Every structure is written in C-alpha cells, then in structure tokens.
C-alpha cells in the first residue's frame, strides 16, 4: 500500500514538472523580441500572408505554431558597389555603362538609405528576401539602369569634370523615385570613382592642357591690350597737360607784353637807380632814366 502511494505521488510530481516545463517552453517560443532599429514582419505559416502592421522593437506574444517573425532593419544603411573587395561585398560590384561616345565606363558608387517601417511588410511580400539580397539584386539593377540613362547621354569629359555634381544629383533623383514605391528611402548617392579607357583619359588631359594654354595666351593678350590702352590714355593726358600749360604760358606772355608800357619801364628803372650818374657821357648818349613829362 505504501509503495503504491509513493509511486503515485512520484508520478504526480513528475507530471506536474513536465507540465511546467512544457508551459515554459511554450511561453518562450510564443514570445518574440524585436531588436532596436528593426521591425518584425508577422508571417502566417498556414496561408503565407503577412500582417500589414509589423512589430516594433520589444517583446511580443504570438502563436509559434502558426506564425513566424522576420526582422528587417530600419536604421540607415549604406550599399557600396565597388571594384575592389575592401568595401561592400567581396565580389566585383562595379557598375559598367557606356558614355554618349560609346566608350565603356566603370563606376564605383555608394548609396545610403533607410526602410520605411510602415512599408516593410509590402517590401517583404514583393521580394520574399532579406535586405542584403534585395540590395544586391533589385537595388543594384535600379542603380545600373539609372546610371546608363543619365551617364549614357553625357560626354566623358563632362562627367568627370564640370557636370559630375549635376549627373550625380540626377541619378540620385531617378533612383530615389524608383525605389520609394517599395519603402526604400534614398538619403545620399555618390559616384566615388569613374574609370575610362586610358587613351580617352589621355586625350581629355591633352585637351585640358591645350585649353589652359589657350586661356593663358588669351589672358596675356588681353593684359597687353589693356596696358597699351592705359599707356595711350596716359600719353594723351600728358600731351593735353603740356598743351594746356603752353597755352597758359602764351596767354600769360600776351598779358605781360600788353602790360609793359614806357612809363612802367621808367618807373621800374627809377626804383632800381642808386643815384649815380653814368661815368661816360657824350653828345649821343641818352639818359638811362627819363622821368615822365608832367
């Protein structure tokens, strides 16, 4: 009797323990934690659909038998597409397009973007992949197509020179327009490096050198022209000044000659006479001073 009672009690304890363990396992599997900077897409295993509203960061209860959760990051990310393996993926992810001259171009680009948390369920429904896969498939193709449409209508010399900023902005606007419908918000797009055939780059450099030399020669010619005009203006000014001075002197001489009268001459001589008579006299000598007659 005692043995049966003991066995029954032991079985009851074991059963309760197993029930508690089963409950803990159920609670653990039915609780989902979404990491900060992410949202959780609620996937229904029975029908394959997803909830329109994702889980935000934190703990959430769900039925582990009928639902699954796929996390998507919503913080800013940067996709780097480059030839080397030091950035982005280990593969060669450069973008190859043709210029308006038909020359092949290789570009290293980068794009910073965020996911609109409200549209993440739709993004998952469309692509059924994680973000990394979407980046290197659809997003990369969208960038390549935009670059071909914009860069393909420009000359290489313009792209690597005065129109680089404009081309980059136009590509960013086009990529942003095409990705925004999926909730991919482009924050910044950059053309980090552009590689063209060496012969093309050499021709562009020679053209730039010739243009610089031509500009220098033109500036020197313009400088000499301005200097000659300045010298001419200065010479004309000096000649005008000399002429004016001569005319003034001539007028002064006329006025002076008109003002000299015999009386004035006699008066000036009288002021300077010391009272001594000349030592030599003769019948033909005339007095040096003649006082005016009353």
First to last CA, the chain: 187
> Given this model, what pLDDT does residue 175 score?
97
Residue among 99, 179, 185, 169 nearest 140 (CA) = 179
Q: What is the pLDDT of residue 26?
A: 54
pLDDT at 92: 85
pTM: 0.62
The residue that leads in pLDDT, 227 or 121, is 121
CATH: 3.40.50.300, 1.10.3860.10, 3.20.19.10, 3.30.479.30. Which one for 77-195?
A: 3.30.479.30
146 pLDDT more than 70: yes
What mean pLDDT, rounded, does the chain reach? 79
Q: Per residue in 178-196, pLDDT tens?
A: 999 999 999 999 999 999 8
Domain ranges of the chain: 9-71, 77-195
Condensed to tens digits (0 to 9), the pLDDT of residues 84-135 reads: 755 555 678 899 999 888 889 999 999 999 999 999 999 999 999 999 999 9
Neighbours of 266 (CB within 10 A): 15
**In contact, 175 and 79? CB cutoff 8 Å:** no
């Amino acid at each position: 009797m005692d043995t049966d009672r003991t066995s029954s009690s032991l079985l009851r304890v074991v059963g309760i323990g197993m029930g508690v363990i089963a409950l803990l396992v159920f609670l653990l599997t039915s609780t989902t934690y979404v990491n900060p900077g992410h949202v959780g897409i609620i996937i229904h295993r029975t029908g394959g659909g997803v909830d329109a509203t994702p889980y935000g960061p934190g703990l959430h209860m769900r039925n582990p038998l009928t639902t699954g959760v796929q996390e998507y990051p919503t913080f800013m990310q940067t996709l780097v597409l480059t030839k080397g393996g030091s950035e982005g993926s280990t593969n060669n992810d450069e973008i190859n397009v043709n210029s308006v001259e038909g020359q092949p171009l290789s570009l290293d680009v980068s794009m910073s973007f965020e996911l609109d948390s409200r549209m993440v369920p739709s993004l998952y429904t469309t692509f059924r992949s994680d973000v990394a896969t979407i980046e290197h498939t659809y997003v990369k193709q969208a960038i390549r197509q935009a670059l071909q449409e914009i860069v393909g209508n420009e000359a290489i010399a313009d792209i690597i020179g005065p129109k680089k900023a404009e081309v980059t902005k136009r590509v960013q606007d086009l990529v942003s327009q095409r990705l925004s419908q999926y909730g991919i918000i482009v924050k910044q797009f950059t053309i980090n490096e552009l590689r063209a055939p060496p012969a093309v780059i050499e021709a562009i450099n020679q053209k730039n050198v010739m243009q610089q030399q031509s500009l220098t020669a033109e500036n020197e010619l313009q400088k000499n022209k301005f200097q000659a005009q300045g010298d001419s203006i200065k010479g004309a000014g000096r000649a005008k000044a000399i002429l004016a001075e001569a005319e003034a002197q001539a007028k002064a001489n006329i006025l002076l000659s008109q003002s000299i009268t015999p009386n004035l001459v006699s008066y000036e001589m009288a002021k300077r006479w010391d009272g001594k008579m000349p030592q030599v006299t003769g019948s033909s000598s005339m007095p040096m001073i003649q006082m005016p007659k009353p």
